[in-house]
Each structure stands twice: as C-alpha cells, then as structure tokens.
C-alpha cells in the first residue's frame, strides 16, 4: 500500500507540473498593538466558487487558478472583509497583498477577551513549528476524523510511536519505561503491578484536546525520559454553549452473536467495578498457617464461592454512550466563565481463539524442536469503561486564566480463558480454566493559573493530585487432564491438586494497588523584546515538586488434599462444578485451603522529587533561535518489603542529577527550518522494579521479580531535523537521532530460577546501549494542486520511522545473548492515511494504514531462542455524514485486513525468523464494525 500511495502522489505532482495554470500569492497583515503583524488562518476564497485556502503561520497564501480574471474575498473574524479583482495568466505568479482593518465596533463598546483555539490542525501545527524542542502532536480536530477510542489508539498515529498490548506506548523504539507522561501538566499515575507504565487505554479519545510528544529535552520538561515526554491535555471550555448526545454500537466478526464465556460476576460489573462478591469474606482469616485449626480451615474454604465453571451466554453488540455539556456564563462576548462536563461509557465484548505452543531446545541434527504442548485458548474479554470529565475555566482579563480540571476513569475487565489441547510431554489431554477480573480507578485533578506579568512576562502555576487504584479480586486457575488417546471420549477429566499452595492449580489470587501523588509546578518566562532590537533574549525559570506514595499487597492460596491417607480420590473426577462443593471441603476425605503468601507479596513505597531549572533563549533577528539551560533534580526513592524467607528489603536512595540541554533552530525561510538538539536525561528505577514481588505470566509461564540494587541510568540524546510547513495545516519533516545509554535498566534471565519449565527474569543495569533512527512525516492537502473537484478535497498523511538499537548486558548476561536489541523495539514503523472532506455536503471519510517491524517480545534462554512479535498490517476506515446543524452519523470499520497477531521463536538462534522457527502464539481478533449517531441541542 505504501508503494501505491507514493506512486499516486508522484502522479499528482507530475500532473500539476503539466497543468496550464497561474498562481496568486500574497501576505495578509493587520495592525495590532501599533505594529503591522502577519495574520495566520485568514480565509482567502474565489467569489462564486468553493475554491478556498487559508494563510499559513506567516500570513502567506498561495492559490493556483485557471487563467482569467477572478474576484478574491479575504475574511477574518472582527475585521472588515476585503474583495480584490485579480488577473491570472498561465504559468505566472500574481502578487496580491492585503492589509485588514478592524471592524472597530468591539473596540468602542468593550474589550474583547477570548481564548486561542488549541485543538485545530492549524493550531497544533503552529505549536510544532514554534516549539523550542523537536515535537510532534495531534489535536482534537484530527482525532475526530478517525474512530480511535482511547488515548492509546490516538498516539500511535504520531511519528515514532508504537503501541504495546493496546495500552503501553513506545516512542522511538524505546520501551514504556523510557517515557514520561504528563496529564494536564501533572505526572500521570501508573496502575500496573508488573511494570513501569501509564495505561493509555484509561483515557477515552473524546476527552482529549491534544497530545504533544516532546522528543528532545528542555529545562522545563521532566528529566526522567529518553523516548519522549508525552503531554496529554483534556478538552477545555468551548467558545459557545453546546450539548451533545451520542450513541454507538459495534459488532466484531467472530465474536458478536457467538457463544461467550465468563466467570460469575457482580451486580455492579456493568459500572466497571466489583461490589464485593469476588473479595475475601469479612470473617476470612487474616492468615492461613499450619496453626489454623481444622474447623477454621473448613469454614474458610466453604466461605469462598464455588465459581470454577464458566457461564455461557451470547455475545451481544457493543454499546457506547456519550454526553457533553458546555456552558459559558455572561453576556455577549463578556462570558469569561465556562464549564464543560463530558461523560463517556462503553460496554464491549471480544472473543477469539489463540494457538499457544511451547517447544524443547532446538536439535541441530534433526533441524527441529520437539513440542512440549499444543493448546487452543478460547479468550473471552468483557470490558466496561466509564469516564467523567469536568473542567472549569475563568478568563482573568486579557492576560490571565484560572482552570480547575478533573478527570475520573473507571475500567472493569473480565477475562476468561478456556484452554484445551495436548500436553505432549506429560502425555495428557487438558482442559484448563482461568478467570481474572481487574478493576482500575483513576482520578487526576489540577488547579492551574496563567497570568501576564508586566511587559512580555508570564507566570504559570499548577497544583495537582492523582489517585490510582488497581484491584484484582479472586483470580482463579484450575487444570484438569486425562491420558492421551483415551478410546472413550466420555472418560472424565481429573483435577490437578497441588501438594502445597499454588497460584495455578485450584489457586486463588487477590491483590490491591493504591497510589497517591501530589505535585506543584511554577514556571516564569520573560521576553526582553524591544522595537528595532535584532537580538531578543528570553529568560525562563521554574520549580517542581512531587510526592508519590504507593502500597501494594497480594495474597494467594489454593485447595489441597486435607488428609492424604483418607482423601477420596473420586472427588477429582467429578464435574468441575461439584469438585469444590461445600461438602467436599472437610478435614478428612476432602480439601482444605493452603496459603502461599510470603513477605515479598507486599511493599510500601514513596518517591519525592524536587526540581528547579533556569533556561535562556536568544532570537537572532528571527533567523536563529538558541534555547538552553540546566535542570537540577533531587530524587529520593524509598521502598520497604521483604524476601520470601523474611529478610527485610529496605531501599532508600537519593540521587541528585544535573541535566543540561540545548535546542537550536535555524529558519531557512518563513516556512522552513532546521533544528539541532542535545540533552542529558535520566531513567530511574520504578517501584515495581525495586520490589521483590514475583509477577507470574499465565500465558508464557514466566516469572518476573524486582531488584533492589538497581541504579539510575543516564542518557545522552542528540537530534537533527529539517521541517517545512507549506501551509498552516501541512508539514514535511525529516529527522535523525542518536542516543547513548549508561547503565540502562534491562530484563535479565535468571538461570535455574524456576521449575516445571517456568522461566524466571529480573531487572538489572546493563553496561551500555545505543539507539539510532530516522523519522519522516508528511501531511499535505491536495487543494494546492487541484483547485476544484474531488481531488481538491483530499489530504494525505505519512509518517515512518527506521530505528536500530543495541544493548550490551555485560558479564551478568548468563543464559541469554550479551548483545541484543532493546526490548520491544521495532526496526520500522509506518502510518499512512487518506482524508476527504466536503464541507458543503457535510461528508468526510478517511482510510488509515499501520505496520510495524519485527520486535523483540521476550528474551530467550539457553536452548530457547528469543521470542519476536512479527509484522502486522492494520487498515481502518471511517465515514461521517452530517444532517443539518444537529445530527451526524459515523460508520467505521477497524482492522479490515484482520491479520493475525503472531509471536515466533528464533528456535535455531540464527538471528532470523525462517521455516525452522516455531510459532508460539497466534490469534485474530476479527474486524470490528461500528456505527454511532450524534445530536447537538
């Protein structure tokens, strides 16, 4: 598709080169504050036609027209419209400059106060061009053109970004741990018990105003990143009163109207949280030990729900609902107070079959690996999302603003796995079951102020609070088997009961994570601008403070034989619904509970960050802009836990980092510039990476635990980039970057760490690493090539990244390659899209394509090659039609190609994936079709 798209663009360019047309060019200006200023976003149209363009960031426009005489109309809010007649000759350029005059009415009656729109494509493009750092972004206007439903879906459209597991973001091929996320200027919370990452699926796309990714360091940006600082801004108060209601539904090929399996739930699952049904009963023992009496064990076992069998139902179409209410208070244009409330709700289901295999070590003689198991996992995923956004804004005259921003999210996810297949190494057929429910709650609130200070001075401050909770109540797993080749298929399956506590055999797991974060931020900038001065200096100073507190606690247990000598083995062959019935939980012939919770299954942690910065910028005659400075970060990490045997783990690490940075921009012309940047940043261990808690991966039979001896990594970042802005909504850019890591934190295989085929991993500091890449971005409208007709309403976008990274794990890399790519890094990522807009008919559609290169998914061990996620093409399409001023309908198809997700193992460890390499996991989720209708009051 990429080749066809490039060919298409080339033909368009060739066509216009042969066209016999002329061009009208010019600059639109206006008198503001006593000086003549260029005017961006001014409409320039041909009277009596639909031909229209707008001025770019420098007030310039270019309009190709047929030879002849045309009347051009120039219009902008609060200025008198202008009409000019112009003669166009073929092959020539005709100049037409216009100076707009204020209509004057508002100046006589009152002082007009308004906010600059920041969510349009033009506004985002302007911020990218004027940014002092290398930056990419996407605004609400562009988001609305697609069918992306979460912030994760949105950010993967930005150059250099890929999405892992539908919710974790990688920037420039660097794992999620190397990115920092700011939600409305405050640090975003993490709710992951097994990794350092912000879950981008928490935020619905409808709540987004814009997303900006800063790829180079700056004094005012957090110093803990290497891939990107991702700034998410939620919607603010619009310019007018508005109420909008939307309803949508969706069906998934292979899921909807098909059988759906789930564990027993609660009455509040439809709201995204469990009402307590899955939690341990109030009277349940605080700890089960060898001293717990038989009577207490029996009572505790019987108090747990006998919920080991999946309920079957029919998967109905997905449901989505949205409500947005925006209000301004005041008279006329003096309405300086506004509020917006947005409520989004979705209830969705997806089911699919996944092939899950594992193999022994590769045999070089036979050229193959013997199969350990071959399973078919029937995955059933039920997800409920509820989001409430409530923001207030007060404009304080012409230079100040006060905002109170709130975002609450609730997500409940019920995943039921029914596993069938053959355990070839054990000689059994299996039927295994896993029931996992997770509820996640987050709240993020800020009080933000922005104030003009004297002449060309500005003070910004933010007070923030964030709450994150993740609860996993009663995850259950049970295995059953019967011998392979049973001639009688009615032979019952036998339940596997462990000799001691287990998370997998008749096991139950409970966990809770709570995190609170409070922050304060102060920024002041002063520009020393004076009329006639060719060199304009700028001073920037600020401070930041943040305190995070987290508690994590897990508890797990399983049913075992109460008395081996007296146990009734016939119980193991009963129907699964009857095996753990109350009557079978007793101290003689039945089952009892055995708890395996150990001291490493809980920790308390805190992080205190104090930061201050000073920076300066110098604008040399609007040609060269140099911005540099230094940021000082003083960070203290504390964590208290213990190892399995009870040995205390007490972390108290204080590190002070001095982080210099410089960004240089050279303006080749008013539309083109070159950037160069250098910065030093850090990458600190996260709570999870320091804690000894062991996280078990059911699908891949891996265990991951932390390392309290980790140290802070340091990264040197270098960037070079060329940017060209043909108009205020178009860009062409090419860039390269190089990063050098010292003591990067990586995942290491731990030899002889597990039993029964389980592989253990932990975190350690590698010796060093490097990452090098190139990026391309193109956003163009064809209206500059075709002044009318279908093609004049088309736009194209393309962004692509090529990345190469290596990491030297050092002498500690036992059982795995010492040198390898960084985890999750794709050698290439490509996004392309075609957009069509017809304003008169209220129709727009788009087609978007994405593909990523083979990326390292899991580290291999001795005799077991690395595991890679293979390339996958995805194609999405959306069409929207408006009806009058109130109604709109959107229809979309997502993942039209429905290519399978494929994980393959480099079994022969030759560094490539070929015919002799095994498939470990593969599945297709199915094409998703959705439709929604919106109504404005």
What span, in angstroms and rounded, lies between the C-alpha atoms of 846 and 836? 6
Contact status, residue 913 vs residue 854, Cβ threshold 8 Å: yes
Ramachandran angles phi, psi of 767, nearest 5°: -75, -50
Which run of H or of E encompasses 719? strand 713-724
Sequence-separated (6 or more) residues with CB below 8 Å from residue 276: 266
Q: Is there a contact between 73 and 62 (Cβ–Cβ < 8 Å)?
A: no
177: pLDDT strictly greater than 80: no
Report the range of poorest mean pLDDT among 305-309, 317-321, 497-501, 882-886: 882-886
pLDDT at 78: 65
pLDDT at 58: 64
Supply the pLDDT for residue 6: 45
pLDDT tens-place string over residues 132-153? 888 888 877 777 665 566 676 7
Question: In residues, how long is the chain?
Answer: 937
Dump the DSSP string for 80-114.
--EEEEEEE-TT-EEE--EEE-B--HHHHH-----
pLDDT of residue 756 exceeding 50, the answer is: no
Q: What is the pLDDT of residue 299?
A: 95
Say how far residue 169 (Cα) sits from the centre of its chain: 5
pLDDT digits 0-9 by tens, 354-376: 999 888 877 877 777 888 889 99
CB 816 within 8 A of CB 809: yes
pTM score > 0.85 for this model? Answer: no
Which residue, chain included where needed, has tokens 């635990």? 705
More confident residue, 399 or 776: 776
Residue 102 pLDDT greater than 80, yes or no? no
* Residues 813-854: tens digit of each pLDDT: 777 778 888 877 788 888 898 988 887 888 888 898 988 888
Q: What is the pLDDT at residue 678? A: 95
pLDDT at position 759: 67
């Amino acid at each position: 598709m990429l080749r066809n798209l490039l060919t298409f663009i080339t033909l368009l360019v060739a066509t216009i080169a042969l066209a016999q047309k002329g061009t009208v060019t010019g600059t639109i200006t206006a008198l503001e504050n006593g000086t003549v200023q260029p005017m961006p976003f001014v409409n320039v149209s041909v009277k009596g036609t639909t031909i229209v363009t707008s001025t770019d960031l420098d007030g310039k426009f270019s309009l190709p027209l047929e030879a002849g005489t045309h009347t051009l109309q120039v219009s902008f809010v609060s200025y008198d419209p202008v009409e000019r007649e112009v003669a166009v000759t073929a092959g020539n350029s005709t100049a037409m400059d216009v100076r707009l005059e204020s209509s004057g009415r508002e100046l006589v009656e009152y002082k007009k106060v308004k906010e600059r729109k920041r969510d349009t494509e033009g506004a985002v493009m302007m911020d990218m061009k004027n940014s002092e750092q290398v930056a990419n972004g996407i605004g609400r206007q562009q988001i609305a053109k697609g069918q992306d439903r979460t912030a994760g879906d949105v950010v993967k459209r930005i150059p250099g970004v890929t999405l892992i597991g539908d919710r974790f973001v990688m920037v420039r091929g660097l794992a999620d741990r190397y990115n920092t996320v700011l939600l409305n200027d405050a640090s975003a919370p993490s709710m992951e018990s097994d990794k350092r990452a912000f879950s981008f699926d928490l935020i619905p796309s409808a709540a987004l105003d814009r997303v900006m990714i800063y790829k180079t360091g700056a004094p005012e940006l957090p110093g803990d990143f290497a891939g990107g600082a991702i700034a998410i801004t939620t919607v603010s108060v619009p310019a007018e009163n508005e109420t909008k209601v939307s309803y949508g539904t969706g069906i998934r090929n292979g899921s909807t109207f098909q059988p759906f399996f789930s564990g027993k739930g609660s009455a509040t699952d439809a709201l995204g949280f469990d009402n307590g049904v899955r939690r341990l009963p109030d009277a349940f023992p605080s700890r089960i030990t060898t001293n717990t009496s038989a009577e207490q064990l029996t009572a505790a076992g019987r108090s747990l729900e006998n919920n080991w069998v999946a309920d079957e139902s029919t998967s109905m179409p997905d449901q989505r609902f949205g409500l947005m209410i925006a209000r301004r208070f005041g008279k006329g244009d003096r309405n300086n107070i506004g509020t917006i409330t947005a409520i989004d709700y979705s209830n969705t289901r997806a089911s699919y079959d996944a092939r899950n295999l594992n193999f022994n070590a590769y045999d070089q003689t036979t050229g193959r690996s013997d199969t350990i198991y071959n399973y078919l996992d029937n995955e059933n995923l039920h997800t409920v999302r509820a989001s409430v956004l409530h923001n207030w804004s007060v404009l304080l005259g012409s230079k100040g603003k006060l905002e109170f921003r709130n975002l609450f999210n609730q997500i409940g996810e019920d995943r039921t796995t029914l596993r069938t297949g053959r355990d070839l190494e054990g000689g059994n057929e299996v039927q295994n079951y896993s029931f996992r429910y997770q509820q996640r709650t987050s709240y993020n609130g800020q009080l933000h102020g922005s104030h003009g200070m004297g002449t060309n001075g500005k003070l910004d401050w933010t007070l923030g609070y964030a709450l994150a909770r993740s609860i996993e109540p009663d995850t259950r797993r049970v295995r059953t088997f019967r011998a392979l080749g049973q001639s009688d298929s009615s032979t019952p399956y036998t339940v596997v009961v462990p000799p001691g506590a287990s998370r997998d055999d008749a096991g139950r797991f409970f966990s809770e994570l709570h995190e609170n974060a409070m922050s304060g931020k102060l920024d002041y900038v002063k520009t020393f601008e004076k009329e006639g001065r060719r060199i304009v200096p700028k001073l920037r100073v600020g401070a930041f403070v943040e305190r995070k507190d987290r508690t994590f606690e897990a508890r797990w247990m399983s049913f075992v034989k109460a008395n081996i000598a007296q146990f009734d083995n016939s119980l193991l062959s009963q129907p699964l619904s009857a095996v753990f019935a109350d009557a079978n939980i007793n101290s003689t012939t039945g089952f009892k509970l055995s708890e395996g919770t150990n001291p490493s299954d809980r920790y308390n942690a805190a992080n205190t960050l104090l930061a201050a910065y000073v920076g300066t910028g110098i604008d040399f005659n609007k040609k060269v802009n140099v911005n540099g400075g230094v940021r000082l970060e003083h960070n203290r990490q504390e964590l208290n836990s213990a190892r399995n045997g009870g040995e205390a783990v007490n972390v108290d690490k204080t590190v002070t980092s001095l982080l210099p940075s410089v960004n240089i921009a050279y303006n080749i012309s008013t539309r083109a510039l070159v950037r160069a940047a250098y910065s030093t940043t850090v990458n600190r261990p996260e709570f999870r990476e320091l804690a000894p808690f062991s996280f078990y991966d059911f699908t891949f039979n891996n265990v991951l635990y932390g390392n309290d001896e980790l140290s802070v990594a340091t990264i040197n970042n270098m960037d070079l980039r060329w940017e060209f802005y043909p108009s205020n909504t178009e860009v062409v850019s090419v860039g390269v970057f190089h990063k050098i890591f010292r003591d990067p934190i990586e995942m290491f295989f731990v030899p002889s760490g597990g039993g029964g085929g389980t592989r253990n991993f932990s975190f350690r500091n590698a010796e060093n690493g490097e990452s090098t890449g190139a990026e391309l971005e193109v956003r163009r409208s064809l209206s500059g090539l075709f002044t009318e007709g279908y093609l004049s309403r088309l736009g194209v976008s393309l962004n692509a990244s090529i990345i190469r990274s290596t990491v030297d794990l050092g002498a500690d890399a036992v059982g795995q390659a010492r040198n390898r790519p960084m985890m999750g890094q794709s050698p290439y990522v490509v996004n392309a899209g075609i957009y069509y807009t017809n304003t008169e008919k209220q129709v727009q559609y788009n087609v978007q394509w994405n593909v990523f290169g083979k990326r390292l998914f899991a580290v291999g061990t001795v005799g077991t090659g690395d595991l890679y996620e293979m390339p996958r093409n995805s194609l999405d399409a959306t069409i929207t039609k408006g009806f009058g001023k109130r109604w709109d309908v959107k229809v979309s198809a997502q993942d039209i190609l429905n290519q399978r997700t494929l994980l393959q193992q480099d079994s022969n460890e030759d560094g490539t994936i070929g015919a002799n390499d095994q498939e470990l996991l593969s599945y297709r989720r199915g094409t998703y079709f959705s439709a929604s209708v919106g109504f404005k009051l």
